[in-house]
Amino acid sequence: MANSARRVLAPALASALSFAACGAIGGSGANATFCPPAALESVTVEARTVVPVTYAVLIDRAYTGDSKRSASYPWPQLPRTALETVAAALPKLDLRAGDAVVGAWISHNSNDTSEIFLPFSQVKRASTPELPVAPTPPKPPVNKLECNEYAANVQSFNDAARAWRAKVHELQQRASDEDQRNVTTFISATSAAIRGAAPAQDPVGTDIFGSLAVASGVFAANPGSHRLLVFSDMTDTIGNPVRPDLAQSEVVVALYHRDDANDQGRGQKDWDAMFRSLGARAPVFLAWAATTPDKLAEQLKGAVR
């Protein structure tokens, strides 16, 4: 009789154990989890938005060496040194696809288009790759009977997701490699164009505000991060009334030198206030001896991208 009772209870015990193994593991009712949690492979695409940088280079060709300027650096030492420094710094700037450079002379008529020695040029972007459709995650089980099927579906999905990710990575890497080739080509062509520029001395005067207006116009037409390089003793003689908008621009005044130390200090203080009033960030002044390609690149790369 006892044996018979044990035979009746055995199937019930087996059923209970089965339910415990594949039953409401995470609770009961609407919150029940019928199967152990499954680890699903990710099928999201990492998309990083890189802010493009526009560099405007302004070089003084009205540097005459008169009493208001430095007699220590005769024509054409300033513009030629500026051109060589920019060309040498260009490969050190960590340029990306979408970044751009424009160069213009500072003269008595700076805002004339004829003063642009390096037309606006931009690093070409690779075409956005067309990515394959991501696999669809399996539907969660609705009862304990679907545990095995769900586990199999999860395995199939994860296999497909890994293959999908590998393909996506391959396509993105191809685009990244093309972008890098475009950067290399851009640097080579732009450096040659900068070194090939031929400044002609302008003995009439210096219109610094007109040249800043050129940079402002370029910045307004090209959203992103804006970096302004000015190579000059910053002695304005024209008095152009224009006051351009340089909102949030990073400014570096390079090869900055006046023979009178007091005049140089006053000039730096006045132009620091002026750039701030035009909306730019606090400018960095690099003295002549400190204006090297490495130092210039360091200042420009230290700005926020």
Total-model pTM? 0.83
Q: Is 24 exposed, middle or buried (0-12, 13-18, 19+ CB in 10 A)?
A: middle
**Residues 102, 218 contacting (CB under 8 angstroms):** yes
Task: Round to whole Å and give the CA distance between 97 and 51.
Answer: 10
Nearest to 231 by CA among 57, 113, 55, 56: 57
Residue type, 193: A
pLDDT cut 90: percent of the chain above it: 75
Confidence of residue 304 (pLDDT cuts 50, 70, 90): low
Q: Mean pLDDT in the chain? A: 87
Q: What's the rounded mean pLDDT across residues 238-261?
A: 95
In this prediction, residue 246 carries a pLDDT of 98
Q: Which residue has the tokens 């009439």?
A: 204
H-type alpha helices, 23-122: 77-89
| Cβ proximity of 106 and 228 under 8 Å | no
Task: Centre a 10 Å sphere on the Cβ of residue 40 and count the other Cβ atoms it contains.
Answer: 12
pLDDT bracket for residue 69 (50, 70, 90)? low
pLDDT tops 90 at residue 301: no
The residue-averaged pLDDT of 13-19 equals: 33
Question: In the prediction, which pLDDT does 284 show?
Answer: 97
Predicted confidence (pLDDT) at residue 8 exceeds the cutoff of 80 = no
Neighbours of 91 (CB within 10 A): 16
Q: Are 255 and 231 in contact (CB under 8 A)?
A: yes
pLDDT digits (tens, 9 = 90+) for 98-144: 999 999 999 999 999 999 999 999 999 999 999 999 999 999 898 88
Contact status, residue 191 vs residue 90, Cβ threshold 8 Å: yes
Residue 75 CA to residue 35 CA, distance in Å, equals 82
Q: How confident is the model at residue 37 (pLDDT cuts 50, 70, 90)?
A: confident
Better-scored residue on pLDDT, 232 or 35: 232
Strands 284-287 and 250-256 come out as parallel
Q: Give the type of residue at 243.
A: R
Cis peptide before 76 (omega within 30 of 0): yes
Give the pLDDT confidence score for residue 49 in this predicted structure: 81
User: Residue 73's closest CA among 229, 291, 242?
Assistant: 291
* Residue length of the chain: 305
Reported as a pLDDT band with limits 50, 70 and 90, residue 85 is: very high
Average pLDDT for 168-174: 96
The helix/strand/coil state of 232 is coil
CA–CA distance, 244 with 212 (Å, rounded to integer) = 7
Average the pLDDT over 190-217 and give the result.
Answer: 96
Judged by average pLDDT, the poorest of 39-53, 79-93, 95-109, 197-211 is: 39-53
Q: Which residue has the higher pLDDT, 16 or 217?
A: 217
